[in-house]
Chain A
Amino acid sequence: MAAPLVLVVLAAVTVRAALYRSSLAAFIAERVEVTSPLNAWKRVVEGLALLDLGVSPYSGAIFHETPLIIYLFHFLIEYAELVFMITDVLTAVALYLAIQDFNKVVFKKQKLLIELDKYAPDVAELIQTPMEMHYIPLKVALFYLLNPYTVMSCVAKSTCAINNSVIAFFILATIKGSAFLSAVFLALATYQSLYPLTLFAPALLYLLQRQFIPVKLKSKSFWLYTMQYASLYLCSLVVIICLSFFLLNSWDFIPSVYGFILSVPDLTPNIGLFWYFFAEMFEHFSLFFVCVFQINVFFYTIPLAIKLKEHPVFFMFVQLAIISIFKSYPTVGDVALYMAFLPVWSHLYRFLRNIFILSCVLIFCSFLFPVLWHLWIYAGSANSNFYYAITLTFNIGQILLISDYFYAFLRREYYLTHGLHLTRQDGTEAMLVLK
């Protein structure tokens, strides 16, 4: 399996290198769908230039990266392109290894459930076989590396690639079962962009499952393990934040990074829902709606944890998707991360209801984004409503895609336990509804 992966990596590196040398690199770097005020490369260079001038990068409103990025690129600014290519490759390899391990876990669990007679008798065609699961890790790596969103993100040198890499390592550490590494990488991911905080729940559920600790609120071992994991996570987070303090000797980065993510002062257009909403918001309600929109990202965690406590990796996928859709400054790099997981759920294909129309919507919107941007900003013949409409459509497409996968997942689970050919009391074929 290593050889095909190497081939995929080589192909990805070649595509990126070719694009770096072409004239498209400057065009892609300027695109607002690919870069946001949080992760644009131009702003990283600006922050380092301010540091050279003796001014704190956080004294202005340009630089919103964490001190870790300053530290990293202070030494590696000459090799930036190489750094981003290596980051992408590392992410893909991490995802590959993670999904490989996950497949083993899935297969083992499946075997256990079959032996325990938990499945209905006629569901043989729904059971995943090692044959069909064999190529899934390679497909995941392929989906990530050769996704045009990822390629554009890398060519634009958006630090979203670094965030994705940290999350991928976190997923690898969680699936491998190492609580310590999982907590460290989760702390790093939270430190980089606040929202991965919600991935604490699926990671905890997975590690509990792996330790064979049942998730019962009265169980002592459950609380013990939860406390252990939570304290590992919080301690690493505190350590990282204190290290950042010592880098520039000030706490200025906290309002500049986290205050900026939470209060959304910059209304630069992007593919998300926040910018136009707050550009047109009545001043009186601005704070209220900022709070509502930020809570919206975090509040699906508990209900999803209750429903999907047996399936923490699917929970992680849905949570990642929710973060990418509803975060304050989304970019296509975030979309690419959760899309890389789609091959893992390829066995749900037969239950997906709207996959054709949704993929068409997503592809058309991706093409229309730069067109309508050009018409608004450069040609002056359209206005901001056109771009906003495509934003809405793109987000609806993403939302319906995730809920479609969720529906298909739940439906397959139902069939697994109740049998594939359902009959009604009078023997005719039954319909399945959600009630």
Chain B
Amino acid sequence: GGMAAALLLLLLLVAAGPGRGRAGAGRERRDTLREELLLSPLPTGDVAATFQFRTRWDADLQRGAVSHYRLFPKALGRLVAALGVRELHLALTQGFWRTRYWGQPPLQAPAGAELWVWFQPTVTDVDKAWKELSNILSGIFCASLNFIDSTNTVIPTASFKPLGLANGTDHHLLRYAVLPREVVCTENLTPWKKLLPCGSKAGLAVLLKAERLFHSSYHSQAVHIRPICRDASCLALSWELRQTLTVVFDFFSSGQGKKDWSLFKMFSRTLTDTCPLASQSKVYVDISPKNKEKELLEVSPPPTSVHEAVVQGDKKTYAVYDLLSPSLFNTSRSLNVQLKWKRPQDSSEMPIPTLHAQRYVGGYGLQTGEICTLIYNTHPYRAFPVILLETVPWYLRLYVHTLTIITKGKENKPSYIHYQPAQDRRRPHLLEMLIQLPANSVTKITIQFERALLKWTEYPPDPNHGFYVGSSVLSALVPSVTAMKDVDVEQSPLFTSLFPSSDGSSYFVRLYTEPLLVNLPTPDFSMPYNVICLTCTVVAVCYGSFYNLLTRTFHVEEPSRGGLAKRLANVIRKFRGVPPL
């Protein structure tokens, strides 16, 4: 009887369970994970691998206490809710993306650490929230983001517009900081991997092993959080978290001089299964023909499908491996995508990206210098504007009256300049300009600066290494070769939907130039005590002379009786036969 009653209760619970679950599904917040890996061979023989993990959560983090976190990491969710963050973009990068040789990057980040955040309009003290945010992120990612303070934070007015849903754009809610000296290593990769729903145990994340990832020319890991429309009507908000990792394997060091790449050669791992929490898990290989020739690149095993898209203004073809399709792991338990070149690639025909830039320091000596930026527009007939953002630390004193912009030998006046001069030890220089780049031209922007002498405690431990100047940011809408259709974010690959596109005729590109290393004159660090003594001696010489002259008066000298020394001298004189003193 009791047994039967217990069994009945159990049956009831089981029956009610799914029912309750189903009823609750409407209340429960739905989150989805999509992961993808894009392998693009670069013209110089290197290969770039871009991982993207996108968690989309149909919940409103700002309002209502959200307590149950499933796929969305709790650390970041609570951060967004507590500090009133609307958008957060953090990138940790080691190396430099060589746009000239590798082409336009899907998503570039400057060397070091870069953090830019849009806050909600409800935040009253944005600077306080910014300081708290950088400290919390410093703890989450084991990076020295706590060095972000007012001396390296700027408020750009035009370069960084919100990438997610935004109501108004009061740029006082935006903060941007770069730490060019920041080094990226395994300590930063580990917490980044921990934020992934499957960790590094299943899915594409098994490839992320530190010993291969940091043995590369370029390594960039980023976290992007932004609000997006839940559906086409855009009546409700969803939060999107994208974790991206871009790594470029060098042809000579990792590839051992051979242009045959494979997942095993790159990551020393192969893909064995998918992340059970992911709703989509794909590997894309860029097999677009270059120079209008058919299929130089051969991939094996054969892909599950082929996808064509217009990416960055150009028609591209991708071989797609859908890890969730049952046919993929039929033959072998692991997937090792191999790329082979059918014909040796003609290296003289390297495609040049439409927009690329270069920056360097000119001048000699430790007193003055010049920052020169060269921006190339290689489009044969279209001109387009570019916004240049330069953040220069306060100890390199910029002289904006020496700013010259020369295109094709003539002066090019920017249509918009926003310049905020630096204040010593408080804020850096901010220079934002909108420059029109004529077709097929090189624009040279030069500005002179003076190097300051700092206090001896303000130098880093290796003062003669120099001081880093963060990369400058170029934001432009580059005209595309092929018109792009409007993409539906849910259906298209992740790498096509990072930047919102306004119309199909141009695509948004954000480029970063090289960081600069500038030497400052140094005082002698072993001398504080000596300097204090010597300078105070000089002041005391003045004080002493003036004290004597002011407090003493002239007197006729009284003859002195003679001390011991005089008597001794007289004795010696008597011996010599000389008259006494």
Contacts and interface: CB of A to CB of B under 8 A. Distances in A.
Partners in one complex: yes
Interface of A: 30, 42, 45-46, 48-50, 53, 55, 59-62, 265-269, 273, 275-283, 293, 296, 300, 303-304, 306-307, 322, 325-326, 376-378, 380, 383-385, 388, 392, 395-396, 399-400, 403, 406-407, 410-411, 414, 422, 424, 426, 430-435
B422 A61 contact: yes
A433 B556 CA distance: 6
B541 interface: yes
The A interface, classified by DSSP as helix, strand, loop or mixed, is helix
Contact of B538 (A303, A304, A392): A392
Contact of A435 (B421, B425, B534, B555): B555
Contacts of B424: 61, 265-266
B541 A396 contact: yes
A276 B421 contact: no
Interface in B468-490: none
A62 B552 contact: no
Interface stretch (B4-12, B364-372, B505-513): B364-372
A424 B368 CA distance: 65
Contacts of A396: 538, 541
B365 to A, nearest CB: 4
Contact of A430 (B423, B457, B543, B557): B557
Given A277-B532, A385-B527, A399 B545 contact: yes
Given A45-B401, A279-B454, A400-B545, A435 B531 contact: no
B420 A59 contact: yes
Contacts of B548: 434
Nearest to B425: A265
Interface stretch (B26-34, B145-153, B176-184, B518-526): B518-526
B535 interface: yes
Q: Taking each of B368, B545, B556, which has the highest tally of chain A beta carbons within 10 Å of its own beta carbon?
A: B556
Given A399-B545, A424-B557, 10 more contacts: A49-B401, A268-B453, A280-B532, A303-B550, A325-B542, A403-B545, A406-B549, A414-B554, A424-B556, A434-B555
Interface stretch (B17-25, B55-63, B324-332, B392-400): B392-400
Interface residues of B, number: 51
Given A46-B399, A46-B400, A267-B453, A433 B364 contact: no
B247 to A, nearest CB: 39
B305 interface: no
Nearest to B424: A61
B577 interface: no
A55 B452 contact: no
A62 B421 contact: yes
Contacts of A410: 549, 554
A384 B421 contact: no
Nearest to A304: B550
Interface string B89-120: 00000000000000000000000000000000
The B interface, classified by DSSP as helix, strand, loop or mixed, is mixed
A422 B550 contact: no
Top 5 nearest A-B pairs (CB, nearest first) are A60-B421, A49-B401, A403-B545, A431-B557, A378-B365
A303 B546 contact: yes
Contacts of A269: 453
Given A61-B422, A279-B523, A377 B556 contact: no
A430 to B, nearest CB: 5
B419 interface: yes
B456 interface: yes
Contacts of A407: 549
Given A42-B399, A392-B534, A403-B542, A411 B422 contact: no
A424 B528 CA distance: 51
Given A267-B452, A267-B453, A434 B538 contact: no
B151 to A, nearest CB: 12
A422 B454 CA distance: 57
Contacts of A433: 554-555, 557
Given A282-B528, A414-B554, A50 B456 contact: no
Nearest to A404: B545
A243 B545 CA distance: 42
A50 B538 contact: no
Contacts of B400: 46, 49-50, 53
Contacts of A426: 559
Given A276-B531, A403-B549, A268 B452 contact: yes
B456 A279 contact: yes
A435 B560 CA distance: 14
Contacts of A266: 424, 452
A296 B539 CA distance: 8
A400 B541 CA distance: 8
Q: Taking each of B422, B523, B543, which has the highest tally of chain A beta carbons within 10 Å of its own beta carbon?
A: B523
A400 B527 CA distance: 26
Q: Taking each of B521, B528, B543, B553, which has the highest tally of chain A beta carbons within 10 Å of its own beta carbon?
A: B521
A55 B421 contact: yes
A430 B556 contact: yes
B365 A62 contact: no
Given A384-B522, A432-B555, A280 B456 contact: yes
Contacts of A278: 455
Contacts of A59: 420-421, 423
Contacts of B550: 303-304, 306-307
Q: Taking each of B453, B527, B535, B557, which has the highest tally of chain A beta carbons within 10 Å of its own beta carbon?
A: B535
A283 B457 contact: yes
Interface in B377-421: 394, 397, 399-401, 417, 419-421
A426 B454 CA distance: 65
Contacts of A282: 528
Nearest to B545: A403
Contacts of A296: 539, 543
A276 B523 CA distance: 8
Given A30-B367, A399-B538, A435-B555, A280 B399 contact: no
Given A49-B400, A266-B424, A377-B521, A300 B453 contact: no
B465 to A, nearest CB: 15
A235 to B, nearest CB: 33
Contact of B423 (A60, A275, A399): A60
Contacts of A424: 556-557, 559
A265 B397 CA distance: 14
6 contacts: A53-B417, A269-B453, A279-B523, A322-B542, A410-B554, A414-B554
B553 A434 contact: yes
A119 B509 CA distance: 91
Interface string B553-569: 11111010000000000
Contacts of B366: 376-378, 380
